[in-house]
Amino acid sequence: MDFTIPTTDNWQEQLEYIATKKGFNFSQDEDGNITLQKFSPRRQDFTIELVKPLDYKDALDDLNTQLASYDVSEQTMVWYGANRGEPRDLQDLLDDMKWCKNELQSLTDAVDYHYGFTPADYFNESVMKEALSRTFEETGLADRSFSADMQEILLDHMSRYDNPVNGVEEISTHGCVSGVLSDFVYYSDTKEFYTKHIDDIEDFIYDLEDDLGESITLDHPRYNSAVWLVTERCASFVVDSLEENIQNTLEDWSEDLTKEQVEAFLQGNSNELIADNLEETLSFLGEDIEDEQEASLDANSEELPLQSEAPRIVVPSSPVQEQAQAILNARGERNDNTLKTAQEEQVERKSQSHKL
């Protein structure tokens, strides 16, 4: 597992991390201009230019400004008949422009959501994303076309809770009708999701009816009730195994974590499940370091040279420890040189006295 996680000290790295996750290519020129680029379904080169943003907030403000001014109809008419490789069908071009605006919206929302994120926040997101992926694999949900979108929706929701299990438990217990899940409050949102994944949603409901041995009556409009039903069932699966999969994920990753990383991910970490497991990991890493130090010192003591050679202290390497050891070694060498010079001077004085 790669734990190269953005920090608040490098906002460009944060922005690149988020944009790349959203499928954009990220580049920044020597003047500080940032270009975010991806291709649309109709092979339109969709490019977002951020002119010399001063910081993360400045980049977010620029994205919001571009989103507010992006007019789908206007963009469609600008491109229609321009002979730039755009679709000949006006509806196809209109749909492509809608896709571009949705991508800009999704990117802006993600950048806004990650505003002020710490290394602990990024790490928590990575852990919960992996735990969700494991849950969807174990339950067979990963094979559904709605799997990736549903995981992203649930991840966004449960990340807002100190205990992520409570977040998905609210969905499975109270249902989407309670309004607890902001992604599926409006008919327009559920209709879009249903239209995108209609085959797998209906197939999922059919399998559920088969398991129950009875048909499921859905309220009108069907697309809304169907999406709510699928979401609530997915949430219930996650509730049953999320805590276990978070623990399994952290156990699998613990071997790749250093003590410094764990300490950084623990700092200000409000996620109860992850913080508790990181505390245990830190404790184990501390014990391992002590064992390594003792083993190193024991091995060193067995290999101590005779009186003719001064012993040298060997400790596990780290930048601070290596610097300290270098200072000790240098001092030792200076002492040896000083002693050698004194001995030579003494021999020279004796030689001169004999000549007299």
- Single-letter code of the amino acid located at 278: L
278/162 Cα distance (integer angstroms): 15
Residues contacting residue 261 through CB under 8 Å, at least 6 positions apart:
3
Distance of CA 151 to the CA centre of its chain: 14
* Angle in degrees, CA 235, 245, 168, rounded to 5: 20
pLDDT at 324 over 80: no
Residue 180's Cβ-count burial label (10 Å; 0-12, 13-18, 19+) is middle
CB 21 within 8 A of CB 110: yes
Instruction: Please give the pLDDT value at position 48.
Output: 96
Task: Name the residue with higher pLDDT: 263 or 303.
Answer: 263
With bands split at pLDDT 50, 70 and 90, how would you rate the model's confidence at 228? very high
User: What six digits make up the tokens of 185?
Assistant: 């409050």
186-195, 199-208, 243-252, 341-350, range with the lowest pLDDT: 341-350
Among 155, 330, 138, 329, smallest CA distance to 237 is for: 138
3-state secondary structure at position 49: strand
User: What six digits make up the tokens of 156?
Assistant: 């966004």
Which ranges constitute the DSSP H helices of the chain?
11-21, 56-69, 72-79, 90-113, 119-139, 147-158, 164-174, 187-196, 198-212, 222-253, 259-266, 272-302, 319-355
Instruction: Please give the pLDDT value at position 305.
Output: 55
Task: Name the residue with higher pLDDT: 6 or 197.
Answer: 197
* Phi, psi angle pair for 45, to nearest 5°: -80, 90
Segment 110-162, tens digit of pLDDT:
899 888 888 888 888 889 999 999 999 999 999 999 999 999 999 989 888 88
Among 3, 259, 244, 11, smallest CA distance to 125 is for: 3
With bands split at pLDDT 50, 70 and 90, how would you rate the model's confidence at 33? very high
CA distances 128 to 140, 169, 172, 271, Å, are 18, 15, 18, 10
271/266 Cα distance (integer angstroms): 9
- The proportion of the chain whose per-residue pLDDT surpasses 90, expressed as a percent, equals 39
pLDDT at 92 over 90: no
Predicted model pTM: 0.66
179/171 Cα distance (integer angstroms): 9
CB 25 within 8 A of CB 14: no
CB 86 within 8 A of CB 75: no
121/107 Cα distance (integer angstroms): 18
3-state secondary structure at position 4: coil
- Single-letter code of the amino acid located at 31: D
